[in-house]
Amino acid sequence: MYSNAYKKLVSLPPLLWVGLFLLLPYALMLAHSFWAVRDGMLVRQPDLHNYVTLFSKPVYAAVLVRTMRIAAAVTLCSLLLGYPLAYYLSFHAGAPKELLYQLVIVPLWVSYLVRGYAWKTILGSEGVLNGFFEYLHLTHEPVAFLLYSPFAVVVMLTHIYTPFVFLPIYAALEHIPRTLVEASEDLGAGAAQTFLRVILPLSIPGLLAGATFAFVLSLGDFLAPLLVGGASSTMIANVVQSLFGAAYDRPLGSAISVGLVIITVSLLVLSERLEKRWRYQ
Amino acid sequence: MAANSLDPASAVLLEVRGVAKRFGTREVLRNISLTIAEGEFLTLLGESGSGKTTLLRLVAGFEEPTAGEIWMSGVRLDLLPPYQRRVNTVFQNYALFPHLSVRENVAYGLRVKKTAATEIDGRVDEALRMVKMQEFAASRPSKLSGGQQQRVALARALVNRPLLLLLDEPLSALDANLRKQMQSELKALQREMGITFLFVTHDQEEAMALSDRIALMRDGALEQVATAREIYAHPATAYTARFIGQTNLLRGEILDGMARCGAIEWPSDDPGGAAIFSLRPEAIRLASDAVALPGTARFRAALQQQFFSGASELLEVNCSGQLLRVRISARGPLSGEHEFVFSTADAVRVQE
């Protein structure tokens, strides 16, 4: 048995960490969200005016809706790419499985920024894709919507978050006992029926976890809109960033952040509940 | 259907013709030929690694044979995918679908074959009643005990009315008492439904208790295929004799019409030469208990150990350096040297 002193000693660093770098900032953020800035000075008089602003000015709701639509599109695209990939690797890849798995993981080691710039050179008007289209005589002038559009943001974020979606789905698929697949075939189900009736339902916890990753991470992203998005695809985190920076309205920025935290935590709780409901083993 | 003899008039259901299976360079099955009659309970018996489960998986369609053919009722089975074979399997670990209730598990096969909903209900009820699991219809498999899961697995297979039911060590995960009970239920179910069973086990007692015929496998080949009684009374090889029940293997030779194994000898009209005989422990009796009959052999041996097991006891005796096991009905402690007898007909000559 460990002594009480020892237990206290080892739990101190994580407690300090959580306290200093998580709880304290959250508390500060929450406090700020009730304060105000007047004449360039922070006024510590709590009221709800920041929240009133958020709900009364349609621009914030519009940006939030756009952000959620982009996040939803990213989630959908990552699932459409990540699920088949995970399914193929887990059930049909055979011997090269390990290698392919590593290849899916490798992009995670490359800086987010580098990948963002890569998309800039691919999607830009002088970019790889437009050059290719012109070479094929498909187009005669650059396709403008490729870069600096919500489309570009979705492409870039999908590229970045697909491995995050792939991983939990792959883990869930790997956990499905292969005798269940054999049992299904034995009972008369072909590959499609086996997939729909056995494999898909048993992989739903992984699918939910992956979808939550993609959605929540996209929701808070501000680099993709900066790098490839342009003005037409400003997301909620960009608004927070400018409020904290140029606009010097930390209280309003904090109020938006509090809203984001509430949305994110609700999503996580919801996803957790759903995952539990679909978990049997 | 006759329970213990293979009725020659009954039609052949499954025919395995010269089947071989190789995994890479490893030869798992070698030239297996075997027929199963309609309504028969045939057991593939063997040690782990003998190839019995692989043979079962070939019949189910989870593996393809490297050579040979499998036919069932005039259809070439080995070319069909598993879902087109009228064969169902009870898996060793039951393989119940964890996300489906007991009822949905049992209905699975009928659902995927697009059976009418009303028919599904009736047949699932019937199958659940058959295995006495109606009251658990709404439960998830994870809430059931091993024996209950076993029953659901059986119902899930039988509800499809397969021509052939494959059972892969279905009782090996159950404790001894439950196992005995499930054995008797399985046997009764098979009689009642008249479905042909192909049963895999490594437990020779289980094989003998259940089967019409036993196919003993060894290193990927069939060692002997016969009824339990036949295989026990007339094992073809020393391996079979040792694997099925207990036996004494007497090694010696036949010379001038006499079989000699150490200090034990008896007249034999078998062809001469080196010989191995299998003599079951219960075929040997104490001379004091036996009436002297023609065709018996006698030997004296010193008692080394005595194991009491209720109705009978097992003696380990030493006959001039040769150790023999003798099973007699319980008769109290013994010691010293005794004379034993056996009928020479019970000393069965076997191949190495």
Q: What is the pLDDT of residues A223-240, one digit of tens each?
A: 999 999 888 899 999 999
| pLDDT value of residue B162 | 95
Domain with A142, as residue range(s), is 47-277
| A91 inside domain | yes
Hey, what amino acid is at B338? H
Report CB contact under 8 Å: A182, B62: yes
Answer yes or no: do B225 and B257 share one domain.
no
Does some domain include residue B158?
A: yes
Are B214 and B264 contained in the same domain? no
Residue B1 has pLDDT above 50, yes or no: no
Tens of pLDDT, residue by residue over B43-99, are 999 999 999 999 999 999 999 999 999 999 999 999 999 999 999 999 999 999 999
- Which CATH number fits the domain that encloses residue B322? 2.40.50.140
Inter-chain contact A182–B109, Cβ cutoff 8 Å? no
Contact (CB<8Å) B88/A280: no
Helices (H) and strands (E) in chain A, counts: 14, 2
Look at strands B26-37 and B12-23 and give their pairing: antiparallel
pLDDT for residue B2 = 38
Residue A4 lies in a domain: no
- Pair B193, B136 in one domain: yes
A59 domain-assigned: yes
**Residue A32: inside a domain:** no
Q: What is the CATH number of the domain that holds A147?
A: 1.10.3720.10
Residue B7 domain flag: no
B329 beta partners? B312
Residue in the structure block whose two tokens are 């099925």: B244
Mean pLDDT of B123-148: 94
Q: Report yes or no on B320 lying in a domain.
A: yes
B64 shares contact with chain A (CB less than 8 Å): no
Tokens of B65: 């044979």
Residue A200 is assigned to a structural domain of this protein: yes
On whether both B286 and B234 belong to a single domain, the answer is no
Look at residue A115 and tell me if it is in a domain: yes
- CATH number for B166: 3.40.50.300
Question: Are residues B234 and B268 both part of a single domain?
Answer: no
- ipTM rounded to 2 decimals: 0.86
Interface check B82 vs A, CB under 8 A: yes
User: Exposed, middle or buried, A7 (CB in 10 Å: 0-12/13-18/19+)?
Assistant: exposed
Q: In this structure, how many other beta carbons lie within 10 angstroms of the beta carbon of residue B351?
A: 14
Q: B203 with B267, same domain?
A: no
- Using a CB–CB cutoff of 8 Å, tell me whether B24 touches chain A: no
Beta strands B273-279 and B348-350: pairing type? antiparallel
Q: Report helix, strand or coil for A40.
A: coil
Domains identified in chain B, total number: 2
Residue recorded with tokens 């490798």:
A106
Share of chain B above pLDDT 90, in %: 79
With respect to residue A138, please indicate whether it lies within any of the assigned structural domains. Answer: yes
Whether the pLDDT of residue A221 is over 50: the answer is yes
Residues B207 and B326 in one domain: no
| Pair B83, B72: CB distance under 8 Å | no
Backbone φ and ψ for B33, nearest 5 degrees, come out as: -125, 130
B125 shares a domain with B103: yes
Q: Which of B53, B56, B96, B99 is the mutation pick for testing A, counting most A CBs within 10 A?
A: B99
Is residue B4 over pLDDT 60?
no
Query: Would you call A187 and B140 a contact, using CB atoms and an 8 Å cutoff?
Result: no
The predicted pLDDT at position B106 comes to: 97
User: Would you call B60 and A186 a contact, using CB atoms and an 8 Å cutoff?
Assistant: yes
The reply to whether B259 falls in a domain is yes
Residues B80, B222, single domain; the answer is yes
Domain of residue B273 covers 246-350
CA separation for the pair A104, A161 (Å, rounded): 11
Domain count along chain A: 1
Q: Is B1 inside any structural domain?
A: no
Pairing of strands B312-319, B296-308: antiparallel
Could you tell me the pLDDT band of residue B260, with boundaries at 50, 70 and 90?
very high
Burial A30-50 (b: 16+ CB within 10 A, else e): eebbbbbbeeeeeeeeeeebb
Looking at the structure, do residues B175 and B300 belong to the same domain, yes or no? no
What integer best gives the mean pLDDT of chain A? 92
Q: Give Cα A84 distance to the centre of its chain.
A: 19
Q: Last residue of a domain, which of B240, B274, B309?
A: B240
Q: Closest Cα partner for B69 from B119, B122, B124, B14?
A: B14
Given a contact cutoff of 8 angstroms between Cβ atoms, the answer to whether A234 and A150 are in contact is: no
| Domain contains B5 | no
Domain boundary at B240, B270, B292, which? B240
pLDDT at B9: 53
pLDDT grade, residue A76 (50/70/90)?
very high
Angle at B268 between CA B264 and CA B274, to 5 degrees: 70
**Chain A: which residues have CB within 8 Å of chain B?**
177, 179-180, 182-190, 193, 197-198, 201-202, 278, 280-281
> In chain B, which residues have their Cβ closer than 8 Å to the Cβ of A278?
99
Q: Could you tell me if B211 and B228 are in contact, meaning their C-beta atoms sit under 8 angstroms apart?
A: yes
Q: Domain check: are B271 and B128 in the same one? A: no
List C-alpha distances in Å: A105 to A108, A116, B166: 6, 17, 42
Residues B67 and B128 in one domain: yes
pLDDT at B223 over 50: yes
Residues sharing a CB contact under 8 Å with residue B87, sequence separation 6 or more, in sequence order: A186, B59, B60, B61, B72, B77, B162, B163, B164, B165, B166
First-to-final CA distance of chain A: 32
Residues of B in contact with A177 (CB under 8 A): 93, 95
- Domain boundary residue, one of B213, B240, B267: B240
